């Protein structure tokens, strides 16, 4: 005669469920974390520190367009070197460097400069010599100033991308 009482059967049932659940969780959790992993982490790393954009002596009092190049950009799988992040206009004013992003704050087209006025070819926004909006273009703010300084005779510029088509400057 078997002595399988209700308590033993109940225990075996619970133990089976517990062990099965633990094995299932051990398999499912790593698989689930693999699926959702990129959604919560920063997968592309662009430099937030100042970038060397050339000798300070090469910049005049008039706006000069320069490429902003990151020595290294990483994503989840690769590392790219010497990546052009964008362009900026730089000049010296009263012995201090100034920089404006060449990204149109309307929808992000590259802005040109004709010696007096910045002009966006996409929707005809115009900006004065200090980057302020002029005319009736759709841009809701002026060109974005970028932090720049001279260190040991070299220009060090911090590249910032701002949200587009809003009147305030909020980093993107």
Helices (H), the chain: 6-40
Residues in the chain: 172
Residues that bind ligand FES (CB under 6 A): 104, 106-109, 120, 122-123, 125, 137-139
Nearest to 103 by CA among 81, 127, 83: 127
101 versus 125: smaller Cβ distance to ligand FES: 125
Q: How far is the CB of 167 from ligand FES (least distance, A)?
A: 14
**26 versus 136: smaller Cβ distance to ligand FES:** 136
In order of 34, 145, 171, the CA distances from 24 in angstroms are 16, 54, 43
Q: Count CA within 13 A, CB hemisphere, residue 74.
A: 7
CB of 125 to ligand FES, least distance (A): 4
Name residues whose C-beta falls within 8 Å of residue 50's C-beta, 6 or more positions apart in sequence.
147, 148, 149, 151, 156, 157, 158
β-bridge mates for residue 155, sequence order = 150
- In whole angstroms, the minimum distance from the beta carbon of 78 to ligand FES comes to 30
Distant-in-sequence contacts of 114-123, Cβ < 8 A, 24+ apart: 115/62, 118/89, 118/143
**Least Å from the CB of residue 132 to ligand FES:** 15
Closest to ligand FES by CB, 90 vs 139, is: 139
Q: How far is the CB of 121 from ligand FES (least distance, A)?
A: 8
Given the complex with ligand FES, which of 56 and 103 has the nearer CB atom?
103
User: Which residue's CB is nearer to ligand FES, number 56 or number 102?
Assistant: 102
């Amino acid at each position: 005669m078997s002595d399988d009482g209700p308590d033993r059967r109940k225990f075996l049932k619970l133990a089976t469920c517990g062990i099965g659940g633990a094995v299932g969780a051990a398999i499912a959790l790593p698989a689930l974390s693999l699926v959702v992993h990129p959604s919560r982490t920063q997968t592309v790393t662009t430099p937030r520190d100042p970038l060397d954009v050339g000798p300070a002596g090469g910049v005049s009092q008039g706006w000069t367009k320069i490429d902003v190049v990151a020595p290294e950009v990483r994503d989840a799988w690769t590392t790219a070197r010497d990546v052009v992040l964008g362009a900026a206009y730089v000049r010296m004013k009263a012995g201090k460097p100034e920089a404006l992003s060449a990204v149109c704050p309307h929808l992000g087209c590259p802005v040109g400069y004709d010696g007096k006025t910045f002009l966006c070819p996409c929707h005809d926004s115009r900006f004065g010599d200090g980057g302020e909006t002029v005319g009736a273009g759709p841009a809701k703010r002026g060109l974005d100033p970028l932090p720049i300084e001279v260190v040991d005779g070299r220009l060090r510029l911090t590249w910032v991308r701002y949200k587009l088509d809003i009147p305030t400057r909020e980093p993107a």
